[in-house]
């Protein structure tokens, strides 16, 4: 029978030590501020005692952090990244047991992060060396080689903020209130504001060319929008442009303060992501959207109709509802294509995506491609026993004309199983029946399940011996192996 996760104790040693040092306190001063003994404070910092609920509340008050700061989600994510790095077959070594990796992350998080960073740089260097070694790159200039992929840095940046940016939400709510914006009737007022305040004329791009959704010509003062955009998509593009014009300093401040963004490319990409965040917050102001989500049981299609936006846009917005005092369900959100490429991923919960080696084919997000347009649900159990509830559906881009190419994706929204009862999509699902859960993993490369019929690689942490006469069963594909 599948394991049920035990209630997790909160060991806050590394995080508490960092908060204390940032506040310029020693252990005696911190203990006095928290109303505990110095020996208890020392035991907490040495991982000998967990935080009690009362001490956790006092820590949150003294250091000005939310109790979720100690949730352990960051540790889980770092452990997943470290397992991925150490399981990389290119490293040529057998990874340590899962328990040792968890202990290393808990006791030495800075060292674990350094190892993950070193692995990422190693992969980048190996990719560049391979490119330089190909015949058509023999005369390439190394300085002209592309730098490390900035998308991972940007995803880390959004994750570090739990996919929630309070200043952008506040600015969007204020603008929506001042302009008296109404859902489904936003594109017109935004176009007027761009014209009056910024001298920008919104025009429709030519229908016969594959134009971008939005293209700004600063010299002529024209903002071209694709003729194929819906009203909600037009409003989103106009709101994004408005954010770049009217909240440039705020966008710069948020990206400049982010130590995770180590390149100008990553900063520029994060800036666009933040402008898109503002656009979503303007079309779906936090308080109104949160109230509608709670009242409707997080009915995605109903919310899409009410706010005049698409299914994917609602899913993305639902993953940002982390305002203290008005929390929504903490969701993870992602978008994939048929080949398993993840083009969007955001997480406000403790579900973590593998950076390397793909994801699990048993995940319902991939089943969505076989049922286009239908909303599918799944109770999924991870190898550590944690269960999540997932909602998935396909979305289609393009296709305006018989010969026009179409792009099809599947989007998925997931939360911990303990929140699933709040979702209308969970009605009729046997949430408490362990037999209803589908065992999945983070990807075959780092998944330790040995009884999976869909496995494509050896289990993490070991290799299987194969007899010379091929009598040994191999539960993953091998070249030349018979069906």
For residue range 414-432, list pLDDT tens digits in order.
999 999 999 999 999 999 8
Percentage of the chain modeled with pLDDT above 70: 78
What is the reported pLDDT for 208?
A: 63
Most confident by average pLDDT, 211-215, 294-298, 458-462, 467-471:
294-298
- In this prediction the pTM is 0.74
- Strands in 158-297 per DSSP E: 201-204, 214-217, 222-225
Give percent helix, percent strand, percent coil of the chain, each to the nearest 5. 45, 10, 40
pLDDT band at 325 (very low <50, low <70, confident <90, very high): confident
Buried b (16+ CB within 10 A) or exposed e, 400-413: eeeeeeeeebbbbb
Give the pLDDT mean for 152-158: 81
pLDDT band at 90 (very low <50, low <70, confident <90, very high): low
Fold classification of 13-71 (topology level): 434 Repressor (Amino-terminal Domain) (1.10.260)
Q: What is the chain's mean pLDDT, rounded? A: 81
Give the pLDDT mean for 373-385: 91
Q: How far is CA 250 from CA 253, 260, 329, 356, 416, in A?
A: 5, 18, 27, 33, 33
β-strand pairing of 342-347 with 376-381: unpaired
Cβ atoms of residues 245 and 239 within 8 Å: no
For residue range 159-195, list pLDDT tens digits in order.
878 888 999 999 999 999 999 999 989 999 999 999 9
What is the reported pLDDT for 138?
A: 41
What is the reported pLDDT for 222?
A: 92
Does residue 27 or residue 281 have the better pLDDT? Answer: 281
Give the pLDDT mean for 237-256: 93
Place of tokens 């190419």: 405
Domain residue ranges of the chain, discontinuous segments joined by +: 13-71, 146-283, 309-483
- Strands in 245-364 per DSSP E: 322-323, 326-327, 332-336, 342-347
* Least confident piece of the model among 34-43, 118-127, 131-140, 412-421: 131-140
CA separation for the pair 408, 396 (Å, rounded): 4
* Least confident piece of the model among 1-5, 232-236, 433-437: 1-5
Class of domain 146-283: mainly alpha
pLDDT band at 77 (very low <50, low <70, confident <90, very high): confident
pLDDT band at 289 (very low <50, low <70, confident <90, very high): very high
Give the pLDDT mean for 110-123: 77
What is residue 381's three-state secondary structure? strand
Q: And the tokens for 365?
A: 């997000």
């Amino acid at each position: 029978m599948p394991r049920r996760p035990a209630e997790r104790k909160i060991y806050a040693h590394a995080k508490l030590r960092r908060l204390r040092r940032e506040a310029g306190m020693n252990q005696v001063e911190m203990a006095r501020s928290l109303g505990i003994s110095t020996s208890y404070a020392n035991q907490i910092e040495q991982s000998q005692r967990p935080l009690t609920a009362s001490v956790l509340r006092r820590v949150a008050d003294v250091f000005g952090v939310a109790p979720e700061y100690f949730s352990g989600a960051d540790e889980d994510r770092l452990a997943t990244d470290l397992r991925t790095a150490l399981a990389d077959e290119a490293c040529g070594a057998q990874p340590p047991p899962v328990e040792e990796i968890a202990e290393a992350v808990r006791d030495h998080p800075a060292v674990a992060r350094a190892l993950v960073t070193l692995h990422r740089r190693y992969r980048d260097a190996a990719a560049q060396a391979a490119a330089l070694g190909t015949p058509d790159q023999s005369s390439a200039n190394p300085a002209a080689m592309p730098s490390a992929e900035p998308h991972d840095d940007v995803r880390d940046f959004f994750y570090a903020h739990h996919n929630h940016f309070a200043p952008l939400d506040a600015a969007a709510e204020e603008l929506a209130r001042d302009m008296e914006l109404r859902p489904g009737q936003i594109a017109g007022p935004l176009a007027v504001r761009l014209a009056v305040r910024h001298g920008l004329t919104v025009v429709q791009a030519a229908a016969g060319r594959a134009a971008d959704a939005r293209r700004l010509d600063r010299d002529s003062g024209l903002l071209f929008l694709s003729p194929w955009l819906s009203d909600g998509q037009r409003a989103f593009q106009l709101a994004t442009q408005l954010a770049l014009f009217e909240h440039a300093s705020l966008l710069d401040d948020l990206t400049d303060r982010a130590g995770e963004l180590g390149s100008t490319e990553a900063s520029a990409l994060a800036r666009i992501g933040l402008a898109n965040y503002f656009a979503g917050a303007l079309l779906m102001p936090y308080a109104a959207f949160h109230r509608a989500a709670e009242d409707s049981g997080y009915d995605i299609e109903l919310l899409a109709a009410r706010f005049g936006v698409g299914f994917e846009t609602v899913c993305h917005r639902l993953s940002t509802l982390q305002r203290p005092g008005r929390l929504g369900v903490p969701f993870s959100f992602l978008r994939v294509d048929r080949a398993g490429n993840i083009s969007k991923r955001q997480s406000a919960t403790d579900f973590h995506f593998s950076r390397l080696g793909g994801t699990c084919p048993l995940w319902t997000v991939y089943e969505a491609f076989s049922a286009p347009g239908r909303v599918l649900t799944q109770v999924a159990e991870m190898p550590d026993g944690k269960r999540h509830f997932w909602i998935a559906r396909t979305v289609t881009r393009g296709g305006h004309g018989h010969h026009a190419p179409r792009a099809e994706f599947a989007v998925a929204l997931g939360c911990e199983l303990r929140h699933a009862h709040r979702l209308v999509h969970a009605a009729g699902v046997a949430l408490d029946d362990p037999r209803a859960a589908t065992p999945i993993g983070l990807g075959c490369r780092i998944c330790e399940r040995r009884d999976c019929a869909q496995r494509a690689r050896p289990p993490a942490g070991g290799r299987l011996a194969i007899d010379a006469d091929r009598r040994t069963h191999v539960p993953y594909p091998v070249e030349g192996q018979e069906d």
